[in-house]
A and B are shown apart, each in its own frame.
Chain A
Amino acid sequence: MKISELTLFNNKAETAGIGLFLLLAVLPLVLGVLYALLYSLGLIGLISDGFTFSHWQRALSDQEFWLSILYTFYIALTTIAISITSALAASLYINKPLQKGIAGFSAYIPLAFPAIVVAFLAFQLGSQSGFFARLFFQFGIITDTAAFPEMVNDPFGIGIIAAHTFMAMPFFTLYFMSLYDQENISELSQVAQTLGASRTAQLRRIIVPIILKRAFPTLTLYTIFVMGSYEIPLILGRQTPQMMSVLVIRKLRRFSLSTIPEAYITALVFIAIILTILYLLFKSRTFSYDLDR
């Protein structure tokens, strides 16, 4: 009798928990998406004029929209690629100093910086009127601060990528170091070595594939986080192309109300892209990561 009561209680607790999760986490998102969808179809909103695809037609034929999608992917993938490569190198080659002393403490410092602070720092350091430009000018390396290479508000998003990398790299370094211990990689490398693997083969066939496979969900989520970031591209990016999050807010806040449905459409497309990527990536999680194949 007691057992059945306990089971019933557990079920109730589970049901309540799931209900609370749906209510607080899923329902607002669903309502938001629904609102955006209705707005984009002209069914609600200040300029609602009845059901129409005209907003979608206008949004999808806008070159800025497609450029923004490509730019968002470019920034996110470049940031993740640089961060992973440098974090792997740091976690494998300087892991001992990073586990103690000042070096160990310094690895945690960038994690304490909010994105907006990092963006301002990057602006103050890397702009043509910033610290490095003045330093180069003072040393006579450049004749005018305007001759300093554009690293902020530049067409290639160097400032945005640098700021994101500054935040991501220490995080990934610490994460990879913890995975290295958790996954027993030191012993697995020794096994590979006695089987005939050189240091390069150990890295290519054992160490990097295991770390990347284990880190895969976190890497995916961080990529999505960078794709959706706002403060850094707002401060360090150009007017065009803009990352999708910045473009959405710009279109929402324009004087002309006619761009509001386009803003919602951009947001909806962004959500659809992310959900599709997540579905495709997590559909088959058993694929091999051996870099030799």
Chain B
Amino acid sequence: MVTPLETKHISKSYGNERVLSDINLSLNSNETLSILGRSGCGKTTLLKVLGGLESPDGGTVFVNQTDIQTLQPQDRDVVYLYQEALLFPHLTVFENIAFGLRLRKIDEKKVSKRTHTMIRKLQLNGMADRMPDQLSGGQKQRVSFGRALITNPSVLLLDEPFGNLDAYTRSNMQELFKQIANDLTITAVFVTHNVKEAILMGDRIGSISEGGLTIYPSVEAFVESEKNGVQEEIEFWQSIDKNTN
């Protein structure tokens, strides 16, 4: 069975600061790996290395068991999704979503069919002709998802994509992502600093601390670990619970 994403001994430093140290990971098809970590711990750097937007100091990245280390980001079949929606401001919702298909010079009828199907999946019916500045934050993030997913990339990299959304919209988007990721058999790395989100979104969970990545064998092992801040969070909610009772 082909492994969609694998890294071996990835390391990266900025000056004297070691951000990533000997990172090894391997993802199965249609699997989402949540990576939890504090701000500045190297989560985004890891995603950028995987996407080809940053060069590692050492190590190798494999996509579908092919070494992609020397490939440009546009040739990796790995799509990076930012915290901000970053929609192209001069294009409509339809054209934003269809962007990747147009680059691949796909037949106009197929572009139209696939884009409208994606718009329906994203529950953005009737908004195809809207410009980005006519959308809410949640709607923008949906379009951003659709734009990333429509080309069916081998790996999707999500860098705290719901970080700027309110709790209700965030919860909706989490459900929507899980549903679409399942439908389209997406393999993804989902980076977040939110413990609950890491558990909800990931089939497996990892955490980055002091440059090292720990991938937990189960949710229980993740919860029991003292390295990732979950215990502090549990204690906090238990203390609230005690105080209110």
Contact = CB atoms under 8 A, between A and B. Distances in A.
Interface string A189-223: 01111111110010001100110010000000000
A194 B78 contact: yes
B74 A197 contact: yes
A35 interface: no
Interface string B86-107: 1011111001000110111000
B53 A290 contact: no
B69 to A, nearest CB: 16
Nearest to A202: B74
B80 interface: yes
A288 B53 contact: no
Contacts of B76: 194
B118 interface: no
Interface of A is mostly: helix
B12 interface: no
B95 A194 contact: no
Assign chain A's interface to a size class.
20 to 34
B100 A210 contact: no
B51 interface: yes
A276 interface: no
A196 B104 contact: yes
A196 B151 contact: yes
A106 B138 CA distance: 45
Given A195-B100, A195-B151, A196-B151, A188 B95 contact: no
Interface of B: 51-53, 72-74, 76, 78-80, 82, 84, 86, 88-92, 95, 99-100, 102-104, 131, 147-148, 151
Q: Which 4 A-B pairs have the closest CB atoms?
A: A194-B80, A195-B100, A196-B103, A193-B73
30 contacts: A183-B89, A187-B82, A187-B84, A187-B86, A188-B88, A190-B53, A190-B73, A191-B82, A191-B86, A192-B88, A192-B99, A193-B53, A193-B73, A194-B79, A195-B100, A195-B148, A195-B151, A196-B100, A197-B103, A198-B74, A205-B99, A205-B102, A206-B88, A209-B90, A210-B89, A213-B89, A213-B90, A288-B95, A289-B90, A290-B90
